[in-house]
């Protein structure tokens, strides 16, 4: 099996440790020197970058949260002057303000490299026809994957807003050999194929690479046998990094961490202590090479565990499991991170003083995550004219789509239902 970056993917453990230490020390020095937020954080804990004598010492440093990213909107966490930034990508984030990530030219190169590692490990080569099907909320990843695949030299069909049947038509006509998508969308495609009688054997597909959501063993089996392809997955927090933070190889035993560019910790979400191999905890990431947007101990909200085994492939990069769940109340819907509070704020914006209670109901339909918002019917919403009521709801749906990139349905329910069933206001019912 080919490796994209053999020298760094097969690095000897001792050499890797040295490189990680050097990069971590210089990252901390730069963050402390150039980013007021980090300097304040470090100072408040009374810790200086020079306190780091080994990679394990990273646990002494303060955690960075999504809240911090929102608080420092837009440029507060940038470590280089704006004129060095060549790309900004912004995502909804999980707080009031969006999350903005900046890239220097060099940062984009690094992102391409780690993405290309993931793609190559999944079997992508320069002669492939790669089709990217992601929902709008994962636009940034669509770009990262497109650029990664292009750096390999593959022919790329970037993500578009075509319907599933059109995507399938393109897949047949353009002889797509690699599909990049989310597990649920791949399953959804399978369903549509059955409905409109497209035979999987008529496709030129040889591999499906998935991102954004955990890939269950069942889903993998189902996709592999139905499409007769290999299915591998990539990992990264979709709001702040690319999909190549960790990736599966053809052994499919776990995710190889791109350890020369990221330090990945697994910590107990409550105590913050490091979790031993095999024990699930929250994934905490630190960048080692990022210039524009260094992240120190970023809490991803994803749960996973270290795998204490070596892989049969030629890579020496350590293994971490796939995502086993999520912490706190950050929701992951079709790979997009969201927080119920964002919907609450929208409602407050629309209805001002008397904002109705609501519930976010998540369920699966045709393998896709669906979002239903149960909204309390109040006097402010109610109108005896259907048109006005319709308008209000449409406006709400549009605004949610603009912020989260997700289509949602809105169901109006009686106020008494909230009381009768003791439903939590602005809570989440997850039936997935």
Contact residues for other proteins, defined by CB under 8 A = 15, 18-19, 21-23, 25-26, 29-30, 33-36, 39, 49-50, 52-53, 75, 78, 80-84, 104-106, 289, 291
Nearest-approach distance from CB 202 to other proteins, in angstroms: 46
Q: What is the β-pairing status of strands 336-338 and 409-414?
A: unpaired
Q: 174: number of CA atoms within 13 Å, CB side?
A: 19
Of residues 110 and 283, the one with the C-beta less far from other proteins: 110
Nearest-approach distance from CB 316 to other proteins, in angstroms: 16
The torsion region of residue 87 among left (phi > 0), alpha (psi -120 to 50) and beta comes to: beta
Of residues 8 and 321, the one with the C-beta less far from other proteins: 8
How much is the CA Rg of the chain, to the nearest whole Å?
22
Contact 108, 147 (CB under 8 A): yes
Of residues 18 and 416, the one with the C-beta less far from other proteins: 18
Of residues 211 and 288, the one with the C-beta less far from other proteins: 288
Nearest-approach distance from CB 75 to other proteins, in angstroms: 5
Of residues 31 and 99, the one with the C-beta less far from other proteins: 31
Of residues 49 and 254, the one with the C-beta less far from other proteins: 49
Nearest-approach distance from CB 174 to other proteins, in angstroms: 36
Nearest-approach distance from CB 85 to other proteins, in angstroms: 9
CA triplet 70, 68, 78: central angle to 5 degrees?
A: 80
Whole-angstrom Cα distance, residue 320 to residue 184?
A: 22
What are the start-end ranges of the E strands in 182-313?
207-210, 230-235, 246-248, 255-257, 262-267, 281-287, 298-304, 306-307
Inter-CA distances, 186 with 36, 209, 223, 271, 301, Å = 43, 10, 8, 37, 24
Nearest-approach distance from CB 38 to other proteins, in angstroms: 9
Residue 89 in 3-state DSSP?
strand
Whole-angstrom Cα distance, residue 150 to residue 176?
A: 15
Q: What distance, in Å, lies between the first and last C-alpha atoms of the chain?
A: 36
Nearest to 23 by CA among 259, 293, 299: 259
Of residues 32 and 418, the one with the C-beta less far from other proteins: 32
Of residues 29 and 172, the one with the C-beta less far from other proteins: 29
Nearest-approach distance from CB 34 to other proteins, in angstroms: 6
Contact 73, 101 (CB under 8 A): no
Nearest-approach distance from CB 107 to other proteins, in angstroms: 11
């Amino acid at each position: 099996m080919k490796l994209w970056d053999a020298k760094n993917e097969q690095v000897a453990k001792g050499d890797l440790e040295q490189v990680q230490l050097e990069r971590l020390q210089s990252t901390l020095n730069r963050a402390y020197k150039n980013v007021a937020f980090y300097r304040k954080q470090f100072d408040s804990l009374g810790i200086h970058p020079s306190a780091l004598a080994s990679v394990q010492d990273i646990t002494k440093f303060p955690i960075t949260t999504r809240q911090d990213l929102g608080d420092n909107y837009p440029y507060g966490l940038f470590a280089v002057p704006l004129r060095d930034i060549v790309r900004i990508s912004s995502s909804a984030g999980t707080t009031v303000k969006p999350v903005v990530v900046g890239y220097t030219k060099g940062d984009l190169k690094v992102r391409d490299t780690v993405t290309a590692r993931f793609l190559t490990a999944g079997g992508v080569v320069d002669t492939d026809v790669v089709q990217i099907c992601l929902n709008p909320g994962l636009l940034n990843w669509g770009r990262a994957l497109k650029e990664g695949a292009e750096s390999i030299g593959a022919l790329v069909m970037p993500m578009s807003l075509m319907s599933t049947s059109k995507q399938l038509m393109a897949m047949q006509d353009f002889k797509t050999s690699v599909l990049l998508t989310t597990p649920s969308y791949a399953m959804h495609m399978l369903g549509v194929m059955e409905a409109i009688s497209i035979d999987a054997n008529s496709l030129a597909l040889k591999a499906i690479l998935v991102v954004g959501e955990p890939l269950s063993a069942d889903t993998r089996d189902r996709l592999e046998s139905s499409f007769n392809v290999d299915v591998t997955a990539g990992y990264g927090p979709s709001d702040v990094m690319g999909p190549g933070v960790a990736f599966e190889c053809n052994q499919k035993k776990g995710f190889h961490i791109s350890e020369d560019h990221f330090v990945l910790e697994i910590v107990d979400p409550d105590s913050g202590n490091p979790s031993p191999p095999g024990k699930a905890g929250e994934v905490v990431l630190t960048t080692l090479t990022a210039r524009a947007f260094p992240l120190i101990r970023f809490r991803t909200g994803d749960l996973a565990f270290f795998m204490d085994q070596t892989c049969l492939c030629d890579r020496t990069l350590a293994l971490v499991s796939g995502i086993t769940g999520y912490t706190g109340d950050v929701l992951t819907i079709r790979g997009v991170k969201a927080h119920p509070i964002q919907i609450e704020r929208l409602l407050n914006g629309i209805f001002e003083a008397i904002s109705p209670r609501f519930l976010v109901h998540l369920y699966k339909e045709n393998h896709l995550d669906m979002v239903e918002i149960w909204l309390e019917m109040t006097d402010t919403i109610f109108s005896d004219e259907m048109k006005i009521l319709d308008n209000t709801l449409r406006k709400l749906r549009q605004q949610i789509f603009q912020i989260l990139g997700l289509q949602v349905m809105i169901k109006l329910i009686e106020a008494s239902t909230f009381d009768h069933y003791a439903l939590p206001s602005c809570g989440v019912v997850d039936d997935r």
